[in-house]
Structure 1
């Protein structure tokens, strides 16, 4: 079989990656955000590329800058907007701003100059040139000029302290504060194409005291003194740009919830549309006529069981609210109004895929529109021709743009050619003790056969409310296939895409059905003649790391186990993770004890490779520190050495994202597996000294 990029980690990290998709108002152009490896191979830089929506032509690069571009969107006149820390300064303090690239051609230009920068584009109007921006201001700032002054004072005196008066205080991989999130309205309709000066650095002496530039449109704060409320779970704007509907945050003890708020852009007045204690109301979408909203309603789960994610429709003023698709047992990951406003189109996990569905508003049956083995994301609706656009991927195909019509999906041109993969993919399944069907994907190296069976790597997904259905650049099984492993990607109990009852099988009992499901589908896979059941290993990250720890304490069938960013001691985890309230809501006190992996440390027989990043706030580093200390306590040799290993990244988060760190991660994992599965000599990666 010809060599693929997956045989070499250097070749793999150099593959270009399509990360986002935007559709022009006339449905003729698609803009892709594409990440490529920088020349020094230490990070990725992002640029915007344009492809024709009808599938013709070749990709055309639109942007080039040292800082890169992200968050592309279109204005109603066809101009593109994006977020970038341009100009091409090497100053790490340069704040990202909103930039505009005219449809008529020419260079991009900055259209904001906020000292703290722009966090992202929350929404754009389809019949006006209004943009809704997300940006942060310091809590006591009454204006963007006052924010600039306060930031300059903190910088001058080197103050980094943050005073909190609400929970949470950090999120995933970053501290929250001292600035608070705001939503701003920015009208670009009157923007003149005049000669303007280049953006000065916000660190220039005296710059913070200057008024906001008169030659730029002034952003209008729609959420003065918001606290954390404007850290929204979805923002939509009416076509004329006159009304914003946002899912705004409400603190609820250790937890939080979201309510739907309507904001009149001209007056700034807020009207609460829907607010229910114990219920999340999220991801508003507005129809093309600007008269109705769709949103997701989800009652908070409790240890008694998970709850359904419900699609609701209401008038733009909140009137006539009612649920649709009441019999549809799937969780929509994203949705929008179809071109005729008579239905929603949605993406949802389903049976190991993530197809597109059409959901009529009149109560008609939900119709699945795509029937392939792919997962769809970044769904966009062409309001002119009625076509749909999305990024499509599977475990053997990275994300690439497609156009979907009644005739099916058609691949568009892409600046990131699809690489060959080192093996094949097939579906496997089994029936478990309670009659449930448990399925997964099995990736096989080309060399696997009854005469040369492949060693098996059980790879457990995170979440746990997740499904192995879409390509991941971070967790890529093709790299293991290139090493000769067959890789099993199962969806055990708690996985999405199989209905609420399937999720409930593992609720409040992570060590029960999720574990027995994993062992059952591993048994079924090992029964294949092309699998060597004597050479098996297991690995997982996050919830998958929890399961790897649980597996380690409950079976000795695996020759090696890799546990990344894993939950180890649930009692300490619940109080140190960034979302304590959620974790306390899914376990009873007794279940938290019964399902705690660290109680079974003395039963571990397989060698463990423990991996963690210090900037992981979802699963704090204390989990792996305690795991490592307890492994050392119970398994150290007289000279202090142990068979287990601990790979630590002081400056990485939950995923380990820096390219060279990803290389070290895979080198260490494959070296560890090779040592214990194949008996090869352990070789320390050069980068580890």
Structure 2
């Protein structure tokens, strides 16, 4: 099933072909219009008996220029694939009841997100909530009689003084907005409502929600829809992370674990230390609580470790000490003897299975979101130990894969089974750019750096191609061997695309990640520049046609590169940070930036801020540069891009500023805007491309 599959004929045909070819040799490639047609699997939920998988199928609609997500179901053998919900709605967070007879989920049908339950035998559905605030993170009680969820409880907005009251029938302007909060607007959300996120319970057959947590604190770990809540094995308590310490806005990473009695709301503290205690998972036998955490040393990057403690909070110990990688999303096996968790390892997202003595093995790999080379993806575990993962490889955007570890079938090796093929209709007959892994050494200190090369469809090794260096953001993140729609479109435009994991990237251990601690941007220049040298040395790149781009932290490093070298013919910086002082005083992540990325406040450490500012190298820039940012970007605010644009403009550097309406960080809210990122890039680089001999 596809959603309005008509392609935009002839879109950018001239600019997407690098050089003329005979018609018979010209491969069919992806076009920006295909961004409306690619679909992605997300949030898989395998039934307790392992026989059915429900997942969210994300798609884009040409008529509304919006993204949606419906629930689909498929058997574990790949049969019975069909939709459970349809239409221009967004469903999310599917969760099976303990007996597998019902499914809870969040749906926007009717306009406002609400919590729904579906009876799987007959397909009957019931909305459990009807309020103005969106519920999130549904979790079944062990007996299947109740559901817990998180929801914002609003408090009155701040007002100073006594405002005038409009006379009857008058139309006055909107009143002033008052705030006394450090973070009063957030990327992807906008103006933050006043109030706090709390946990509720509601009868699974319908009834009135009852608030369990109290106080002026956010509960669930992440605020405004990003948290989680879990039940104790006996159903007596709700466990969750909460920011209930002093000055929680300033200590943005700090959370502790708490248990709340469902009947009374009585609170029991489980952890108390400085650091992010998150993702509590209770063993089925009720004895243990697994969770993720680290002691925050105020570094830019630290490994998040898998921890274990008894139900009363005693006996805390680290389970993942043997693994120099970060761990997330712990899930218990049904026998309470092992814990599954997600791990990024050298650009590949895997599922590791930990025994209670700290030993571990990888049981699944290639997890991904499907639309980007960034790490991501998710998994779900059945009672018999089978897993379903959202998988992505360079040639496979996004599909469900069933993994059967050897111990599940008596030690027999069972190969992974791909259950879906939701993008075959889009990719059929089209040639993707081939992806090749590369390792090279940095000119800075000889460190090995991992990267990937995408070659243009129809690649001929005896030709010379322009090269595009694409830099990831974060900066504490990683690229990997995952499908990336935007990079494939870059390759389809005739470019060799290089993307790498320079120092500071995750998935290579804590020491590598912290090489940029209080020193970003910095020596990552040499890592990236050495990668360009390594690809040029292969002989199929025209050294006179080098281009550089990246978003967010990649936009920072784009500006850093052209401030240090003039080897690139043109640059495109997406939503960069330019002035670190203005960034920490305007962005929605001010406290974390000051606490973890810098040695302190800018007025106490002006030298550190100044030497890392992109304005410190702007006078060396000669490269034609385009800057493109969303007007609702509160992560790297538009003022950063405007500073860079005007700095370049006043120096006579050829530059263009592109402001994208209604877009937050990333410019992906509307499919047409994501396509505009590619068409703008192709047009800008084509304008400055030298003729290839």
Structure 1 residue 236 and structure 2 residue 237: aligned? no
1:536-586 deviations in Å (ceiling 9; x for gaps): 101000100100011111111111111011010111111111121211122
Deviates further, 620-629 or 280-289: 280-289
- 1:664 and 2:676 equivalent? yes
CA distance, structure 2, for counterparts of residue 162 and residue 440 of structure 1: 47
Cα separation, partners in 2 of 1:175 and 1:404, compared to 1, 3 Å:
same
Measured in 1, the distance between the counterparts of 2:217 and 2:26 equals 54
Structural mapping, 1:510-525, within 5 Å:
510-525=520-535
**Equivalent-residue separation in structure 1 for 2:672 and 2:301 (angstroms):** 39
- Residues 10 and 333 of structure 1, relative CA distance in 2, 3 Å threshold: same
Q: Could you tell me how far 1:126 is from its partner in structure 2?
A: 4.5
Q: CA deviation at 1:165?
A: 4.2
2:165 paired residue number: none
Q: Please give the alpha-carbon distance, in whole angstroms, between the structure 2 residues aligned to 1:426 and 1:669.
A: 23
Per-residue CA deviations over 1:69-125 (Å, capped at 9, x if unaligned) read: 2222222232112212223xxxxxx422111111112342211111x2323124333
Match for residue 200 of structure 2 among 179, 184, 188: 184
- Report the equivalent of 1:148: none
Gaps of 5+ in 1: 88-93, 142-155, 192-215, 636-641, 681-689
Give the deviation of 1:15 after TM superposition.
Answer: 1.7
Distance 2:310 2:103 in 1: 30
Classify the secondary structure of the residue corresponding to 2:264: coil
Task: Report the counterpart of residue 97 of structure 1 in structure 2.
Answer: 114
Alignment of 1:292-331 (within 5 A): 292-302=288-298, 306-331=301-326
Residue in structure 2 matched with residue 24 of structure 1 by the alignment: 47
Q: Distance in 1 between matches of 2:479 and 2:26?
A: 26
Q: Which residue of 1 aligns with 2:68?
A: 45
How is 1:418-429 mapped onto 2 (pairs within 5 angstroms)?
419=427, 421-429=431-439
Aligned to 2:38: 15
Change (3 A) 1:387 1:230: closer
Supply the distance in 2 between the matched residues of 1:445 and 1:252 (Cα, whole angstroms): 49
Out of 393, 402, 410, the position equivalent to 2:417 is 410
1:274 aligns with 271
Which among 361, 365, 378 is matched to residue 367 of structure 1?
A: 361
The range that moved more, 564-573 or 576-585, is: 576-585
Structure 1 CA distance for aligned equivalents of residues 43 and 399 of structure 2: 10
Q: CA deviation at 1:527?
A: 0.6
Taking the TM superposition and a 5 Å limit, the aligned residue runs for 1:135-150 are 135-139=151-155
Corresponding position of 1:344: 339
Cα pair 2:504 2:515 within 8 Å, conserved: yes
Shift of 1:52: 0.5
Alignment of structure 1 residues 195-594 onto 2, 5 Å: 216-230=206-220, 232=222, 233-249=227-243, 250=245, 251-252=247-248, 254-256=250-252, 257-276=254-273, 278-302=274-298, 306-364=301-359, 366-370=360-364, 377-383=377-383, 385-405=384-404, 406=406, 407-417=414-424, 419=427, 421-432=431-442, 433-469=444-480, 471=482, 476-585=486-595, 586-588=597-599, 589=605, 590-594=607-611
Distance 1:628 1:341 in 2: 57
- Quick one: distance in 2 between partners of 1:239 and 1:478? 46
Question: Deviation digits for residues 577-614 of structure 1, max 9, x if unmatched?
Answer: 11212111222323322111112111101111101112
Structure 1 residue 460 displacement after superposition:
0.3
| 3-state SS in 2 of match to 1:556 | coil
- 2:582 alignment partner, SS class: helix
When normalised by structure 1's length, the TM-score is 0.85
- Equivalent residue for 1:76, pick from 69, 73, 98: 98
Deviation at 1:341, TM superposition (A): 2.1
> In the alignment, is the contact (CA less than 8 A) between 2:348 and 2:365 conserved in 1?
no
2:89 corresponds to which residue? 67
Q: Secondary structure at the match of 1:521?
A: helix
1:592, 1:2 → 2: CA distance?
Answer: 53
Q: CA deviation at 1:414?
A: 4.5
Judge conservation of contact 2:503–2:515 (CA < 8 Å) in 1. Answer: yes
Matches for 1:146-157 after TM superposition, within 5 Å: none
**C-alpha distance in 1 between matches for 2:645 and 2:135:** 37
Q: Distance in 2 between matches of 1:162 and 1:126?
A: 44
Cα shift at 1:175: 2.1
The yes-or-no answer on 1:617 pairing with 2:611 is no
Contact kept, 8 Å, 1:462 with 1:542, in 2: the verdict is: yes
Q: Separation in 1 of the partners of 2:196 and 2:271?
A: 23
- Asked if the contact 1:334/1:348 (under 8 Å) is kept, the reply is no
For the 8 Å contact 1:128–1:240, the answer to whether it is kept is no
**SS class of match (1:501):** helix
Contact 1:396–1:421 at 8 Å: present in 2 too? no
TM-score (norm 2): 0.84
Deviation at 1:531, TM superposition (A): 2.2
Displacement of 1:442 after TM fit? Answer: 0.8
Deviation of the 1:159 alpha carbon: 6.7
Map of 1:650 onto structure 2: 661
- The answer for unaligned runs of 5 or more in structure 2 is 1-23, 158-170, 369-374, 407-413, 600-604
Alignment of 1:597-608 (within 5 A): 597-608=614-625
8 Å Cα contact 1:21/1:390 also seen in 2: yes
- Which region of structure 1 is more displaced relative to structure 2, 265-274 or 250-259? 250-259
Alpha-carbon offset, residue 466 of structure 1: 0.8
Mapped contact 2:30–2:431 kept (Cα < 8 A): no
Counterpart contact for 2:45–2:94, Cα < 8 Å = yes
Q: Residue 421 of structure 1: CA displacement? A: 4.7
SS in structure 1 opposite 2:615? helix
Deviation at 1:669, TM superposition (A): 0.9
Equivalents in 1 of 2:328, 2:681: separation in Å? 32
Aligned pair partner of 1:168 in 178, 183, 187:
183
Q: Closer, same or farther in 2 for the Cα pair 1:318/1:6, shift >3 Å?
A: farther
The answer to whether 1:627 aligns with 2:644 is yes
Residue by residue over 1:472-519, the C-alpha shift from the partner in whole angstroms, topping out at 9 and shown as x without a partner, is 66x621001111111111000000111111112222112322111111
After TM superposition, give the deviation of residue 679 of structure 1 in Å: 6.2
Distance 1:64 1:117, change over 3 A: farther
Count of matched residue pairs: 621
1:553–1:604 contact (8 Å) kept in structure 2: yes
1:289-333 CA deviation, whole Å, 9 max, x = no partner?
232111112222435x64332221011221221111212100113
- TM-superposition CA deviations, 1:408-440 (whole Å, max 9, x none): 422113444473552211111112242321011
| Cα 1:416/1:513, change in 2 over 3 Å | same
